[in-house]
Amino acid sequence: MLNIRNLRVKFHSTGKEAVKGISFDILPGERWGLVGESGSGKSVTAMAITGLIERSLVEMKGQVLFDGKDFLQCTRSQLRNIHGKDIGMVFQEPMTSLNPLMKVGKQIEETLKIHTDMSPEERKKLALEAMEQVGLPDPETTYNKYPHQLSGGQRQRAIIASAMIIRPKLLVCDEPTTALDVTVQKQILELLYDLSEKYGVAILLISHDLTVVRNLCENVAVMYKGEIVEQGSTEEIFRNPKDEYTQRLIAAIPKRKRHE
């Protein structure tokens, strides 16, 4: 479904390559983790996949194939059509990922407004359903609330609802739980797991925390300084890390967490 081939991203401003020729594939319904330390290029990779990277700022080489179509060759209007429908994204900062002046319900159904010709009533019905599915309390009331009236975890759920409402094939989550406290973190990860099981949506989970990835994803790619140094089944890599950097990452996990 998603095939990244030798992707390179170079910023004009610094002349540095943030992503240096990475390749990996995500099949329908697969859950992939992308781990690595800060600055290793995880977010840049995510932005390249979702097409959110400002094209005038970078030089991109290689291929980002989605169902055979190369994003790097698409115009913005072609991308607009694919993106909203097939790829959703969950961001790190729940404080800024919702429009502060727009009702939560309206934001959740925004995708439908653009990609379908549903009536407002139909849209609202689907929005309420989506809110129910992601575990937002009392959808009818929450629909009319503004983002500042929700907790961080609830906001993250609202974002997930807005991404899931159109049933995308891939959900890219860039550090979706980093800004949340531990119990809420766990709930959000469980939610992502349930959604992917139930609707077969593939997940690319970006995190610097190996244990988070291990709990959710059966596959993992380890990124270091713009390159993928190791990828494969999470269990296999945990049991038998080949790359020296991966070994260090695993060794850095506190013992009691390693066997969670």
Ligand X SMILES: Nc1ncnc2c1ncn2[C@@H]1O[C@H](COP(=O)(O)OP(=O)(O)OP(=O)(O)O)[C@@H](O)[C@H]1O
Beta carbon nearer to ligand X, 60 or 118: 60
CB 117 within 8 A of CB 187: no
Q: Where are the alpha helices (DSSP H) in the chain?
A: 42-50, 76-86, 104-108, 110-115, 120-133, 139-143, 152-164, 182-199, 210-216, 234-239, 244-251, 255-258
Q: Find which of ligand X, Mg ion, other proteins, none residue 101 binds, CB within 5 to 8 Å per kind.
A: other proteins
CA 227 to chain CA centroid, Å, is 19
* Residue 18 interacting with ligand X (CB under 6 A): yes
Instruction: Candidates 13-21, 109-117, 118-126, 209-217: pick the segment binding ligand X (CB under 6 A).
Output: 13-21
CB 158 within 8 A of CB 98: yes
Closest-CB residue for Mg ion?
43
Instruction: Candidates 3-11, 41-49, 70-78, 162-170: pick the segment binding Mg ion (CB under 5 A).
Output: 41-49
CB 171 within 8 A of CB 89: yes
Question: What's 140's DSSP letter?
Answer: H
CB 184 within 8 A of CB 154: no
- 105: nearest Cα among 126, 89, 87: 126
Site for other proteins in 155-174 (CB under 8 A): 159, 162
Give dist(CA 107, CA 102) in Å, integer: 7
* Residue 38 interacting with ligand X (CB under 6 A): yes
Site for other proteins in 89-108 (CB under 8 A): 89, 91-93, 96-102, 107
Q: Is 60 exposed, middle or buried (0-12, 13-18, 19+ CB in 10 A)?
A: middle
Beta carbon nearer to other proteins, 5 or 80: 80
Q: Kindly tell me which residue out of 45, 111, 207, 234 binds other proteins, with binding defined by CB under 8 A.
A: 111
Instruction: Candidates 42-50, 150-158, 213-221, 231-239: pick the segment binding ligand X (CB under 6 A).
Output: 42-50
Binding track, positions 199-238, relative to ligand X; x by CB under 6 A: ---------x------------------------------
Q: Kindly tell me which residue out of 43, 154, 196, 231 binds Mg ion, with binding defined by CB under 5 A.
A: 43
The site for ligand X (CB under 6 A) is made up of 11, 13-14, 18, 36, 38-44, 208
